Amino acid sequence: MERNPMRRQLAIMRQSLFDQGHVDEQFVQLEELQDDANPNFVEEVVTLYYRDSARIILNIEQALERKPFDFRKLDAYMHQFKGSSSSIGAKKVKAESTLFREYCKSGNGEGCMRSFQQLKKEYATLRKKLGAYFQLARQAGPVETASRPK
């Protein structure tokens, strides 16, 4: 149980990320890799993800402006996006990318556009929530880990 109020708030925020389905087990895996040598590992990986995602989203937007849709190309872009979303545990975003890919495979242009709008929404929400979370984490300071019995 966290005695420090900031740490408590952080724990609540973290739990809600999971409860609301924004992140999954993979996010925990990232947290477990964070250590004294890499105290900001999770945030670093997520920052790389944002950079990568910005590029891919732009590519998809441009591809969706060209008619007829190149579904193969759209699918390839989304395959990349799904991969990196999966690597950071971005659950909702990953689910939406899967849906987009299914629309690509069935050549459903309308479906792709709808799905892409939804995906951008989910992605924006994730960024907002993670942004607030990491900001509080930085303010709260490093966690004192219990020393393991030798």
Among 10, 45, 74, 78, binds other proteins (CB under 8 A): 45
Instruction: Tell me how far CA of residue 81 lies from CA of 97, 98, 105, 135, in angstroms.
Output: 7, 10, 16, 25
Check residue 90 and report its DSSP letter. B
Q: Work out whether 38 is an interface residue with other proteins (CB under 8 A).
A: yes
* Position 41 contacts other proteins (CB under 8 A): yes
According to the binding rule CB under 8 A, does residue 32 interact with other proteins?
Answer: yes
Inter-residue contact 26 to 86 (CB < 8 Å): yes
Instruction: Give the SS3 label for residue 106.
Output: coil
Q: Which is nearer to other proteins, 17 or 30 (CB)?
A: 30
Interacting residues toward other proteins by CB under 8 A: 26, 29-30, 32-33, 35, 38, 41, 44-45, 48-49, 52, 79-80, 82-84, 86-89
